[in-house]
Amino acid sequence: MAKQIREQRLSVIWKLGLTQNIAWASGYYLLAILADPIARDLGTHRATIFAAFSVSLLISALIGPRVGRTIDLFGGREVLAVSNIVFAVGLFLLGMAHSQLVLWTAWLILGPAMGFGLYDAAFATLTRLYGNTARSAITGITLIGGFASTVGLLVTAWGEASIGWRYTCMAWAVAHIVLGLPLNLLLPKLLTGPESAGPESAPTAKKPAVPMDRTMWLLGFAFAATWVVSTAMAAHLPHVLEAVGATSAQAIVAASLVGPAQVIARVFEAWLLRWYHPLVSARLSTIAHPVGAGLLLLGGGCFAMPFTLLHGAGNGILTIARGTVPLAIFGQNNYGYRLGLLGAPARIAQAGAPFVFGVLIDTYHTGVLIFSSALCLAALASLRAVRLSAPLSLAQGGKAERMSRGYIPPTLPFFPEPSHRSAVGVAHTVHSAARTQEGSATRGRRP
């Protein structure tokens, strides 16, 4: 039985990881390669293409809480499957675009597709399936999905050079229908057995009570600030590296290391940082970019590779932390809805990040790294201000026996956790078990 559960969990991770690769490569990273040829063919400016993309990000931010709530209620299989269909329609329409009207219409369709089908929806799906033990599964799909920024870009670049940007968009549309849709439909609706989310995770149909309290605002700001930096660097990284003295070839090679650095950092998180509270991972992720920026500003272009490796590593861990920190602090109840609320400010901020940082680069040149580092340090301050009200033991995904006895691993130096430790973990575990049993008994007495 335990072997079957592990195999099913691994199967879910691989399916979601592969579909996330397709979704990110054909949505978020598409314009990194195709913006120039699309603008050239349609006789418009590159800025117009990214403006349409920014509007699509705003749409995905607005629908995020509703998507999360839907997954909380019904699971994520159908939501993710719908995203493949919507992606396919938007990409096919984009490939057929011969005017700005059709271009904008395509991105207005791709906005909801990204809201339905990217990491937030995948994380909510895993939490609906596995409850508080979803951390390792979240790490697993980000390990696989981390290749979207490298493999996806190479596939899109090869397609644009071989068959043109229009047929490349249509090929990604076919990939969603032929690969993404079947894989998402093969996901389980709900699990049963020891690793199922349990009755505590089953929300009611009424609107959830998820207040925007101090912790929610702190996390929302931290995630928004760091994702602004991530998005801005994704759009302008080669330009920034050339500004500090790197050659064009050095800048391109260094920028290509972001994807591998993300994957390596996620392996590190899965191997070592899994023994620590996810808040530790989140704090570490915020200091990687400022350290790299300091090296780059002091040493010039010869530190282009160390900078991109550190920046990519921070991004890699941050992606996991966005899913695991809310789960560890607030638990599995209404997780999808809460993640949608936390993700909305980040996506709204992301929408304007490429334009704002483009202006900063034109004005301050290498000084833009001071602004980006300040945002990361502000995010670190916000994460340090978070007070944990849930037990640290909830972060230990896949280790129920440790949770049951209140096991809490040691903290890292310079990143101490609040003083309420194992006794609190034991008390919360006992309290949660008693509450679950009481709820079961109450349901048993109902006529």
Q: Name the residue type at position 303.
A: F
End-to-end, the C-alpha distance of the chain in Å comes to 34
Q: Considering only CA atoms, which of 102, 88, 87 is closest in space to residue 41?
A: 102
Is the pTM higher than 0.85? no
Delimit the CATH 1.20.1250.20 region(s) of the chain.
Answer: 9-203, 212-385
d(CA 320, CA 8) in angstroms, rounded, equals 21
Q: What backbone torsions phi and psi does residue 27 show, to the nearest 5 degrees?
A: -120, -80
> Taking the alpha carbons of 154, 159, 160, 161 in that order, is the dihedral positive or negative?
positive
Residue 329's nearest CA partner among 388, 277, 403 is 388
Residue identified by tokens 């009481």 is 438
Give the whole-angstrom CA distance, residue 277 versus residue 113: 32
Q: Tokens in use for 321? A: 């932390």
Burial of 306 (0-12, 13-18, 19+ CB in 10 A): middle
CATH fold for the domain made of 212-385: Growth Hormone; Chain: A; (1.20.1250)
Residue 332 amino acid letter? Q
b/e for 429-439, b at 16 or more Cβ within 10 A? beebeeeeeee
CA distance 17 to 12: 8
Closest CA to 29 of 75, 91, 102: 91
Residues 341/212, Cβ–Cβ less than 8 Å: yes
Residue by residue, pLDDT tens for the chain (447 residues) are: 667 777 788 888 899 989 999 998 898 888 878 888 999 999 988 878 888 888 898 898 888 888 888 888 888 889 999 999 999 999 999 999 999 999 999 999 999 999 898 888 888 888 888 887 888 888 888 888 777 777 777 888 899 989 999 999 999 999 999 999 999 999 887 644 444 454 444 555 556 667 778 889 999 999 999 989 988 887 778 778 888 888 877 887 887 788 888 888 888 887 887 778 888 889 999 999 999 999 999 988 888 899 999 999 998 888 888 888 888 888 888 888 888 888 888 888 887 887 788 778 878 888 889 999 999 999 999 999 988 754 444 444 444 434 433 333 433 333 343 333 333 333 333 334 434 444 444 444 333
Amino acid in the structure at residue 407: Y
- 9-203 CATH, one of 1.20.1250.20, 1.10.3720.10, 2.20.25.160, 3.30.465.10: 1.20.1250.20
Whether 418 contacts 277, CB under 8 Å: no
CA distances from 113 to 62, 82, 88, 369 (A): 12, 8, 9, 32
d(CA 326, CA 308): 27
How many CA atoms, within 13 angstroms, populate the side-chain half-sphere of residue 113?
Answer: 28
Residues 252, 239: Cα–Cα separation, whole Å: 10
Q: How many CB atoms lie within 10 A of CB 96?
A: 12
